[in-house]
A and B are shown apart, each in its own frame.
Chain A
Amino acid sequence: MTEMVRAPRRTFPNPMAGMDDRRRQIVILAIVVALALLYPLVYRRLSDAIPFVPWPDTAVLVVCATFAILALGLNIVMGFAGLLDLGYVAFYAIGAYTTAFLASNHFGVHISWWIVLWLAVAAAAIFGVMLGAPTLKLRGDYLAIVTLGFGEIVRLVFRNLGDITIALPAILGGAVLVGPNANLTGGNVGINPIDPPIIPIPGPWGNQLIFSNQNVIASWYLVLGLLTITFFICRRLRDSKLGRAWMAIREDETAAAAMGINTVTTKLLAFSLGASFSGFAGAFTGAYNTAIFAETFSYNVSILVVVIIILGGIGSLRGVVIGAFALLYVDRTLLPWIGDNIINDPMHDLGVSTGQQILTDFKLTTYNYLIFGIVLVIMMIRRPEGLFPDAGAKAEMHGVGIAAEVTGASEAELTVLGELEEVELDDAPDPDPNAPAEPPSTTTGPEAAR
């Protein structure tokens, strides 16, 4: 454990921005991009040549990237603005359903995905504001509960609007406004099929390039593009005036307002911009799978994205992306692989010999959330700032920053305190009637304003 904890700190030190550091970052980035672009092409040969390694197949990478987009979006709300959101899946669902409504036989509307993508982003952003507006005064636990409810409501609405009748009461004439038995969202059956993204250009892939789960490699490049756009937008937002305003609100909302930040619009922007990226992810997922079902947008997805952020390093863009790939890789490739190759069979045999049904049916993958939970608990104890944190979070969690600065600070503070005592002694015999110093005031001050 200690090795795992220490290693990233050595590999990614965080010195002041210098030319060398910048160059190194570019080199690392280039390597990562090259690997990402080449991997799907060599995956088959790789897994044939070195068989006993759990190589992720490209479809898993597509899911990883989708969750990385989701995590980057939620990171704006949770990491930058410090607003705990447990219903983030709602915006993912809204993005996916917007795509399904506008590009399928369900309503007979077939708009090109390349346009629908942006409509899905807009829809998610609008719902982000709708969730944000009534919850502006909530923080922490209270906000978490409301957002949790919102996430469930959205899923249930999409599930239940598959068979709906809205009519006026009999006294008012009983006119049927919607329905009878209208199918707005496909209900439990979902919407299937959805038009995938298409580039109508002939090439080695045939007459047209289709980005669906029938063509995983092309889809991987598409989602990689979306992830790249998301990443760089997030980075620019973080380093902008708006990013600083978000962090100021996260640190101290009252002080932020006293510095001229309109906390209402700034928080709403966090909700809507954060949500808009899940519109990205939703539009892609719906079209890639060419089908959506309400039940896939469950509470688990929200929690998984929160876990990704905490695991990767809350507020750290790099950490969040790595966290998404790491967690989804473990979930979709590593656990099934360990299960199939190592654990499931011995457990089954053990179950047969002891007559324990729970062991006979053992499948490691069904314990994925248990494992994530344990990992999360260990993380909270050993490395609460995440695997790849940014400097601020690391300092917050461990109460240290740059070591030299801290010792300097505490020494100086001690000096101040020491001299303070002397001052009070000096002041005591002062004949001035106004002089007897009051103890530091604790009036109905800013404390009351909190």
Chain B
Amino acid sequence: MSAMPATAAETAGDLLVATGCTKRFGGLIAVSDVDFTIPRGSIVSLIGPNGAGKTTFFNMITGLYVPTEGRITFDGVDITGDKPHEVVRVGIARTFQNIRLFGNMSAESNVLVGLHHRLKGRWFGAILKPPSIIREEEEAHARAMELLDLVGLGRRKDTLARNLPYGDQRRLEIARALATEPKLLLLDEPTAGMNPEETRRLTDFVRELRTRLGLTVLLIEHDMKVVMGISDRVTVLDHGEKIAEGSPGEVRADPRVVEAYLGRGATSEG
């Protein structure tokens, strides 16, 4: 993590700046030369058809993939090529498209794992259990309960994650991500598989996270009602390239976006 001089965009209040990001898998270019910024305190959506490279882009930000080219800075720090656990430490947390909870651990334990890197204990501390570790564990459990209550799962704390209903699993995943105390929260299709009522509640919840915790949110989402309703800004990817960016209204009107979603010819017919 070399300290880079802050660019103009960063000083203007962008939390995350990705410049010229490309990811190749052999001959396949999953993401091609994408510039992307997330203003501090905003809710930004990343949309695009299947295979557009949205999740690949997510994985580059969170360190699961190393970008083939390009640079990603977060809060003025270069995080390009950092390991996933290092990215969490600077303040980026994520959920997964296909829920990836720790199934055979309780809801509370899942959140406690999210708190992992905030706890100072080492292995010998775990064995000797000095008062500082006991206190730290008590605080961690209390914090985990707060987070479970925040997402409405307080009464389910002892349930194994795999036994929770689908909607609760999505919420638990968010609670687990929040436990890492992120500045930027990445949500990969958080409303997938939810009914309209659950979707509305989750949308409200994400909005509330911004106002109450001051979080910045990056969203991959397919539900256009959610995208248009919640986003300050929308970026559209297609075949790994950024084809549009702007306010929800601007993006909706962009002919290239319509073409990407409905195919060539749709605009002229429409």
Residues in A lying within 8 Å of B, measured CB to CB: 16, 233, 236-237, 240-245, 247-248, 251-252, 254-263, 269, 273, 391-393, 395-396, 401-402, 405-406, 408-409, 412-413, 415-416, 419-420, 422-423, 432-449
Q: Which residue of A lies closest to B115 (CB)?
A: A241
Q: Which residue of A lies closest to B136 (CB)?
A: A241
Q: Measured between alpha carbons, how far is A240 from B140 in the docked complex, in Å?
A: 11
Q: Measured between alpha carbons, how far is A289 from B160 in the docked complex, in Å?
A: 46
Are A412 and B85 neighbours in the complex by a CB distance under 8 Å? no
Is B162 on the interface with A (CB-CB < 8 A)? yes
Are A443 and B113 neighbours in the complex by a CB distance under 8 Å? no
Is B19 on the interface with A (CB-CB < 8 A)? no
Is B109 on the interface with A (CB-CB < 8 A)? yes
- A248, A254, A263: most-surrounded residue (chain B CB, <10 A): A248
Interface residues on B, range: 35 or more
Within 8 A of A (CB), among B40-87: 49-56, 59, 62-65, 83-85
Are B127 and A237 neighbours in the complex by a CB distance under 8 Å? yes
Which residues on the B side are within 8 Å of A261 (C-beta)? 85, 113, 116-117
Q: Measured between alpha carbons, how far is A301 from B262 in the docked complex, in Å?
A: 64
Q: Of the candidates B51, B65, B102, B198, which one forms a contact with A248 in the assembled complex, judged by CB atoms under 8 Å apart? A: B102
Q: Which of B91-99, B145-153, B202-210, B211-219 contacts A (4 or more CB under 8 A)?
A: B91-99
Is B5 on the interface with A (CB-CB < 8 A)? no
Is B185 on the interface with A (CB-CB < 8 A)? no
Q: Measured between alpha carbons, how far is A419 from B56 in the docked complex, in Å?
A: 30
A-B pairs with lowest CB-CB distance, top 3: A240-B126, A260-B117, A445-B55
Task: Tell me, rounded to whole Å, the shortest Cβ–Cβ distance linking A409 to chain B.
Answer: 5
Given A233-B127, A257-B84, A409-B165 in contact, is the A444-B51 Cβ separation under 8 Å? Answer: yes
Which residues on the A side are within 8 Å of B100 (C-beta)? 252, 254-255, 258, 446
Question: Knowing that A244-B105, A252-B103 are A-B contacts, what are 11 other residue pairs whose CB atoms are under 8 Å apart, sorted by A's residue number?
Answer: A236-B127, A254-B100, A257-B84, A259-B85, A260-B114, A395-B160, A401-B163, A402-B163, A416-B165, A440-B222, A446-B100
Is B223 on the interface with A (CB-CB < 8 A)? yes
Is B261 on the interface with A (CB-CB < 8 A)? yes
Are B194 and A416 neighbours in the complex by a CB distance under 8 Å? yes
Residues in B lying within 8 Å of A, measured CB to CB: 25, 28, 30, 49-56, 59, 62-65, 83-85, 88-89, 93-94, 96-98, 100-105, 109, 112-114, 116-117, 119, 121, 123, 125-127, 129, 133, 137, 140, 158-160, 162-168, 176-177, 179-180, 188-189, 192-196, 198, 222-225, 228, 252, 257-258, 261-262, 266, 270
- A242, A244, A434: most-surrounded residue (chain B CB, <10 A): A434
Which residues on the A side are within 8 Å of B192 (C-beta)? 440-441
Which residues on the B side are within 8 Å of A420 (C-beta)? 193, 195
Task: Tell me, rounded to whole Å, the shortest Cβ–Cβ distance linking B147 to chain A.
Answer: 13
Task: Tell me, rounded to whole Å, the shortest Cβ–Cβ distance linking A42 to chain B.
Answer: 35
Q: Is the interface of A mostly helix, strand, loop or mixed?
A: helix
Task: Tell me, rounded to whole Å, the shortest Cβ–Cβ distance linking A444 to chain B.
Answer: 6
Are A258 and B104 neighbours in the complex by a CB distance under 8 Å? no
Which residues on the A side are within 8 Å of B164 (C-beta)? 409
Q: Measured between alpha carbons, how far is A15 from B168 in the docked complex, in Å?
A: 23
Task: Tell me, rounded to whole Å, the shortest Cβ–Cβ distance linking A416 to chain B.
Answer: 6
Are B55 and A251 neighbours in the complex by a CB distance under 8 Å? no
Q: Measured between alpha carbons, how far is A257 from B113 in the docked complex, in Å?
A: 10
Given A254-B64, A446-B98 in contact, is the A237-B123 Cβ separation under 8 Å? Answer: yes
Are B94 and A258 neighbours in the complex by a CB distance under 8 Å? yes
Task: Tell me, rounded to whole Å, the shortest Cβ–Cβ distance linking B136 to chain A.
Answer: 8
Which residues on the A side are within 8 Å of B113 (C-beta)? 244-245, 248, 256, 259, 261
Are A251 and B102 neighbours in the complex by a CB distance under 8 Å? yes
Which residues on the B side are within 8 Å of A449 (C-beta)? 59, 64-65
Given A269-B123, A409-B163, A443-B52 in contact, is the A244-B88 Cβ separation under 8 Å? Answer: no
Q: Of the candidates A236, A252, A401, A419, which one forms a contact with B195 in the assembled complex, judged by CB atoms under 8 Å apart? A: A419
Which residues on the B side are within 8 Å of A236 (C-beta)? 126-127, 129
Which residues on the A side are within 8 Å of B123 (C-beta)? 237, 240, 242, 269, 273
Are A446 and B30 neighbours in the complex by a CB distance under 8 Å? no
Q: Measured between alpha carbons, how far is A130 from B223 in the docked complex, in Å?
A: 50
Q: Measured between alpha carbons, how far is A432 from B167 in the docked complex, in Å?
A: 27
Q: Measured between alpha carbons, how far is A252 from B160 in the docked complex, in Å?
A: 15
Are B98 and A436 neighbours in the complex by a CB distance under 8 Å? no
Are A446 and B117 neighbours in the complex by a CB distance under 8 Å? no
